[in-house]
Structure 1
Amino acid sequence: MATDYGQGYGQDYGHGYRHDSGLGFPEEVRRHRLPAGLRAPFEARSWRELAYVLLSLPISILLFVYTITMVALGVGLLVTFLGIPLLAVGLAGCRGLGSLERARARGLLGLDVGEPEPLRMKKQGAPAWVGAVLKSGTSWRSALYSLLSLPWSVFSFAVVVNFFALGWTLMTYPLWFWLFPLFAGQDGIQLYGDQTHRVYLDNPFEITVTALVGVLFTLATPWIVRALTMVDRLLVHGLLGPTRLSARVVELESDRGVVVDTAAADLRRIERDLHDGAQARLVALAMDLGLAKEKLAEDPHAAARMVDDAHGEVKTALQELRDLARGIHPAVLTDRGLDAALSAVASRCTVPVQMEVDLPSRPAPAIEGIAYFTVSELLQNISKHAQATWAAVDVWRVENRLMLQVVDDGVGGADTSAGSGLGGLAERLDAVDGILVVDSPAGGPTRITAELPWRAV
């Protein structure tokens, strides 16, 4: 996706925040007196990640036991009528436990994972629900997560507990080494020992070195925890979140809704223009011609004037119909392509427009129509709102993308916020896998770039 200059992504950076790889908390960009390696043991994020690892072991044991028990019972009873419903109930429980795991990852790891695809049932009732659960990939991925999380949780728990305990034990050794001669009958921690020789950490130098080694372990522990939780993030994201296919299906369903709404709005606009414009004018014209017919015998001169007026009304109605037809789909676009159609649009703009269209061939009619109306609407915005003195339109192709760029020297301040014309235009482009990028600082200039998929005729 192209970078949204001044909109969207840039706003996060402008407020002093950046996002990490998408698998953790957003981190505030600020200057710290301590480097990251020294302050990591004291950051809240490190303690949240530690809590996640420590909680993962008991939770993963419960998940593993539940999944193994329910799946084993369901599979074992498949020879009876109870097996399939019981297996569906077990998988449904795995889905519910997966929701809890997503919530835990969101709260402790800052991992925002979307909801997976819901159950798709064509009919209502228990049999339809059982079939939907068993056919859902989310159910089986949740069960797989319950099985895989246990061995990984055991490993990460053992590593983290040992590093954490060893680091703090050694780092605080100067505070409690006196307990050894007082209660254990030895000079300190035994580093080496056999039948003839023993080495204890008991002099000031050795105690200091021991504490420094503990500091190193303590400083390293948060980064080890962070590396281990990256695997947890991947497991949650990959097994408990939506798949690319399901996300794409949801996106296409949303885009289809946008297309349907847009088409309905266009039909309402056409109906309103016909009713309030050409239709009303033709009704008035029919009435005028009826009056002229009645006056033709008794007052020919008045009838002739009324016919002349009706002739003017006919010309106006024809022009309105031409404008309406051009708004639906201009004939010049069908006959001569984008270059000629956009040149005609530019000629009607209130400011001089420099036009450059560099296309090796014509795209598919649907894409060509969307490109035409995109540039047309942007030039109308320039005429109405930009207070510009010039504008430029460039159209070119880059690999499998049709690129459109409209630039003006107006007052700027354009955005795609809800309710604006640009917002609706961005939704229309998104419905065909297009992108709208707006760069319009206050005071101008404004540069709006649109990308559309290139589809050949």
Structure 2
Amino acid sequence: MATEYGQGYGLDSTPAGHPRYPRHPGRPGRAGERRHRLPAVLRAPVEGRAWRELGYVLLSLPIGILLFTYAVTMVSLGAGLLVTFLGVPVLAAGLAGCRGFGALERTRARGLLDLDVAEPEPLRMKRQGFAAWMGAVLKSGASWRALLYAVLHLPWATFSFVVSVTVWTIGWSLLTYPLWFWVFPMYAGQGGIQLYGDGQHRIYLDNPFEITVTALIGLLFTIATPWIVRALTMVDRLLVHGLLGPSRLVTRVVELESDRGAVVDTAAADLRRIERDLHDGAQARLVALAMDLGLAKEKLREDPRAAAHMVDEAHGEVKTALQELRDLARGIHPAVLTDRGLDAALSSVASRCTVPVRVEVDLTERPAPAIEGIAYFTVSELLQNISKHARATWASVEVWRTESRLMVQVEDNGVGGADVSDASGGSGLAGLTERLEAVDGILVVDSPAGGPTRVTAELPWRAERTR
């Protein structure tokens, strides 16, 4: 349902598009991008990227031979010596060497293929010492993946080397044939490249037409060579990324540890804010109220009228303290959200904004309380930002579900230019981003200078359990 409220929402956040949201307008190309007159297919043979990829393929064969020889020798030697105490350290040294070669390969891929692969997980040693180091190397999945890379890399490096050198040589040789065909009649005693020959007939590429056709065929090979090499290096990219980088499980564990830290920090900050609000607000008022009531009690017999006046003032302070406690409780978790869900809770927070807000919530069921709470506080923070910074005249809040995600979108017609990374702006968008990432959520901000601003929060959908 859609509801219009007489107060509003504004925000501060960064321009950033995201492919998940087709309603976001496409971004123009970067101002610094060069526009080439020749299409990419014709530029490829002379571009630096093509030569770097060819260099990668050419280096892969000698490096692959060296790596394969080292890995097979060390592992075979270590396995053969396992019957003695020398087998384990030799095997550990072999795996450690493979990890070292892996670091070299990541550096080579970064320099020649523009492939930036993170380092794998470090060795986990519970104690110091050579024995602990050997155990950590042997237990590490990254060590065995590096060994697998050493074994698989050589056959692929050999294949890609042969294919690349063959097509590259054929292409450039035929393309430049008009420049060197004279070598055959002058030094070889034949008219040109022999296309066919038997005991009676021989066909040479020696007349202008045949020479031109040969050069055109060479041009086709030359144009195709960079794309063939690029296709071959895609397999190298997969090998480096899959076997020499961190595993998905370890990456996920690191992400969860980081998210857990963000959640702990956020919870600690919320507790400090609640303590500060209680100390500076309701607690201070209640202390002053107790003192006033004590004075009123002392004056009750001497000056009843003054005591009554003081009690009346204390009554007003009680009402103010109660309102502050209600506001504080609403900031922790509003009762309307628990009782009536997102639609009513967002309508309530929108009614307190300073510009008109249209609220539309299209949900057939309620999400889990944690997801519901994050969605509520996200909208609340964005509406506060609009009121403080956006200078908008209207705003809208939309909530809907798409597959397994809860989507929340807040839009306003303010001045725009919001920046997630600008912590000094007081927008709180960086904190919102961390809070959403802690539950595998995403915050996408589209805020060009001059507006409008659109912020989309994407949260995982988790169905509500019995409350």
Q: What TM-score, normalized to structure 1?
A: 0.90
1:380 aligns with 2:381: no
- Deviation track 1:307-358 (CA, whole Å, cap 9, x = no partner) reads 2222222221121111111111112222222222222212211222222223
1:207 corresponds to: 211
Q: Distance in 2 between the 1:105 and 1:89 partners?
A: 24
For residues 374 and 443 of structure 2, the distance between their equivalents in structure 1, rounded to whole angstroms, comes to 12
Structure 2 portions without partners, runs of 5+? 1-12, 20-24
- Count of matched residue pairs: 444
Residue 164 of structure 2 corresponds to: 160
2:30 aligns to what?
16
SS at match of 2:302: coil
Tell me which amino acid in the other structure corresponds to 1:441: P
Q: Check if 1:445 corresponds to 2:422.
A: no
AA aligned opposite 2:144: W
Change in 2 beyond 3 A, CA 1:172/1:408: closer
Q: Tell me what 2:419 maps to.
A: 415
Report the CA distance shift for 1:127/1:202 in structure 2 as closer, same or farther (over 3 A).
same
Shift in alpha-carbon separation, 1:164–1:355, aligned structure 2, 3 A = closer
C-alpha contact (below 8 Å) 1:389/1:410 kept by paired residues? yes
Q: How does 1:40-119 map to 2 (within 5 A)?
A: 40-119=44-123
CA deviation after TM superposition for structure 1 residue 13, in Å? 5.3
Distance 1:153 1:396 in 2: 50
Aligned position for 2:16: 7
Equivalent AA in structure 1 for residue 30 of structure 2: G
The structure showing larger relative contact order (alpha-carbon pairs under 8 Å, at least 6 residues apart) is: 2
Q: CA deviation at 1:119?
A: 2.4
Q: How far 1:60 moved relative to its partner?
A: 0.7
Instruction: Flag the 1:216–1:447 CA change in 2: closer, same or farther, 3 A.
Output: closer
Residue 442 (structure 2) pairs with residue 435 (structure 1): yes
2:404 and 2:461 in contact (8 A); partners too: yes
1:270–1:324 Cα contact (<8 Å) kept: yes
**1:128 alignment partner in structure 2:** 132
The answer for the alignment partner of 2:146 in structure 1 is 142
Q: Which moved more, 1:75-84 or 1:436-445?
A: 436-445
Q: Distance in 2 between matches of 1:398 and 1:205?
A: 63
State the partner residue of 2:5.
none
Tell me which amino acid in the other structure corresponds to 2:55. A
Counting only pairs closer than 5 Å after superposition, residues 183-262 of structure 1 correspond to structure 2 as: 183-262=187-266
- State the AA in 2 paired with 1:176: W
* Equivalent-residue separation in structure 2 for 1:410 and 1:185 (angstroms): 82
| Displacement of 1:40 | 1.6
Matched, 1:263 2:263: no
CA distance in 2, matches of 1:204, 1:400: 67
Q: Give the residue type in structure 2 aligned to 1:103.
A: T
- 1:147 to partner: Cα distance: 0.8
Cα displacement string for residues 230-271 of structure 1 (whole angstroms, at most 9, x for unaligned residues): 111111122112232222222212111111111111111111
Identical aligned residues as a percent = 79
Contact 2:14 2:420 in 1 (8 A): no
Which residue of 1 is the match for residue 4 of structure 2? none
1:7–1:415 CA contact under 8 A, matched in 2: no
For 2:411 and 2:181, the matched residues in 1 are separated by 74
* Aligned partners of 1:167 and 1:217 also within 8 Å: yes
Q: Indicate whether 1:329 and 2:333 are aligned.
A: yes
Residues 394-453 of structure 1 deviation map (CA, whole Å, 9 limit, x = unaligned) = 222222222222222322222322414112112211111112222223333322222211
Check whether the contact 1:16–1:30 (CA below 8 A) recurs between aligned residues.
Answer: no
RMSD across aligned positions (CA): 2.4
**SS of the residue aligned with 1:450?**
strand
Please state how far the C-alpha of 1:8 moved relative to its aligned partner.
Answer: 5.2
Does residue 397 (structure 1) correspond to residue 415 (structure 2)? The answer is no
Alpha-carbon shift at residue 279 of structure 1 (Å): 1.7
Q: What are the ranges of 5 or more consecutive residues in structure 1 without an aligned counterpart?
A: 18-27
1:455 aligns with 2:455: no
Cα gap change, 1:308 to 1:389, in 2 (>3 Å):
same
Match of 2:318 among 314, 317, 320: 314
- Per-residue CA deviation, residues 68-107 of structure 1 (Å, 9 max, x unaligned), is 1111122112222222232222112211211111111111
Correspondence list, 1:270-281, <5 A: 270-281=274-285
Distance in 1, Cα, partners of 2:366 & 2:214: 75
Q: Which moved more, 1:108-117 or 1:283-292?
A: 283-292
Once structures 1 and 2 are overlaid, which stretch shifts more, 365-374 or 198-207? 198-207
